[in-house]
Structure 1
């Protein structure tokens, strides 16, 4: 039983909340039974350490069983230790350390994807996590991060994905023009989500959404710059039927991805 919140082991886990530690070690923090459960199910080879309070293991026997199936020992810890490790204010008694498993841009497009999300300069962790979750739910083949998009292994991003980080490839560090070039070479059309673009409903009526598509999403505050929009085959906007000034980035991305998913599955 780990009891000392200030022990070197506990401090090493807690440091993974910082980007510098994640970059140096190639590891990241998983908090809560849902994230750990999905990691054990879909990427057990990535899970290196697992800590939990006895009470949490009693409450979540599937996590305990998943760890056993993966050959991972559960290290019991006090609530004070779990709190010291966690990034959240009220942790749920389960913490894991996992190895980062990014997918290369080359491998993303070598798999002949039909639907991907490209995130350029997305800075809010909650937005990025929600986009990854929405891409997973819509059946997208990958999410590609370009420019200065927030680290996908940031604790808030990981939590916002609710496990989807382990369900589909996530590629990071690419340069936008190069990524778009690879997408086009793979036979995909490029749609940029842009407030000044054409009405998405018009594109739907033209039957264009069923083709293999890479959606390009930009920064929450500035959107996409002119050069980025120019890389796309077409820029599209979601119509606003009510009085809202605009939609949150993650909400808009979810709608766009689902529009493509519906069209691609219509037949």
Structure 2
């Protein structure tokens, strides 16, 4: 039983909340039973360490069983240790350390995708995590992040995906122009979500959304710059029927992805 929150081992795990430590070690934190459960089920080889309170293991026997099946030892710890490790204010008693296993951009496009998400300078961890979750729910084939987007292994991103991080490929790309070149090579159209774009409902009526598509989403505050928009085949906006000024990025992305998913499945 780990009981000292200041021990070197605990401090080393807690440091993974910082990007520098994640980059240096190639590891990251998973917090809460849902994230750990999905990691053990869909990426068991990536899970290296598992810390939990006895109470949490009693409450979540499926996590304990998943760890046993994956060959991961459960290290029991008291609540002060879990609090020291976790990034959240009120952790749920289960924290794991996993190895980063991003997919290569080349592999994403070599798999003949029909629906891809490309994020350019998405900076809010909660938004990125929710976009990954929405992409998973809509049946997207992968999410590609350009170099200016927030680290997908940030604890807040991981939590916001609620396990979807382990359900579909998430690739770390370089410059947007290079990613777009691969989009073109794979035969996908590139649709940019932009507040000044054409009405998405018109694009739907034209049948545009049924084609293999990469959706491009930009920064929460500034959107996509002119150079990025120029790379897209079309820029589309969601119509606002009420008095809201705009939609949150993750909400808008969810609608765009489902519109494509609906259209593609109707053909």
Global fold match (TM > 0.5): yes
How far does residue 216 in structure 1 lie from its aligned partner after superposition? Answer: 0.3
- Mapped pair 1:125 → 2:125: yes
Distance 2:101 2:116 in 1: 18
2:173 and 2:179 in contact (8 A); partners too: no
Which residue number corresponds to residue 116 of structure 1?
116
How far does residue 204 in structure 1 lie from its aligned partner after superposition? Answer: 0.2
Root mean square deviation of aligned Cα: 0.6
For normalisation by structure 2, the TM-score amounts to: 0.99
Which residue number corresponds to residue 65 of structure 1?
65
Residues 117-157 of structure 1: per-residue CA shift (max 9 Å, x gap): 10000000000000000000000000000131000000000
Distance 1:117 1:174 in 2: 15
Distance 1:70 1:147 in 2: 32
5+ long unaligned stretches in structure 1: none
Paired residue secondary structure (1:174): coil
Paired residue secondary structure (1:190): strand
Residues 152-206 of structure 1: per-residue CA shift (max 9 Å, x gap): 0000000000000000000114210110110111010000001111000000000
Which residue number corresponds to residue 207 of structure 1?
207
Which residue number corresponds to residue 78 of structure 2?
78
User: Which runs of 4 or more aligned residues in structure 1 lie more than 2 Å from their structure 2 counterparts after TM superposition?
Assistant: none
Paired residue secondary structure (2:209): coil
How far does residue 208 in structure 1 lie from its aligned partner after superposition? Answer: 1.1
Distance 2:33 2:215 in 1: 31
Distance 1:197 1:91 in 2: 42
Distance 2:23 2:40 in 1: 22
Which residue number corresponds to residue 98 of structure 1?
98
For normalisation by structure 1, the TM-score amounts to: 0.99
Which residue number corresponds to residue 232 of structure 2?
232
Paired residue secondary structure (2:134): helix
5+ long unaligned stretches in structure 2: none
Distance 1:9 1:166 in 2: 26
Aligned residues: 267
Which residue number corresponds to residue 21 of structure 1?
21
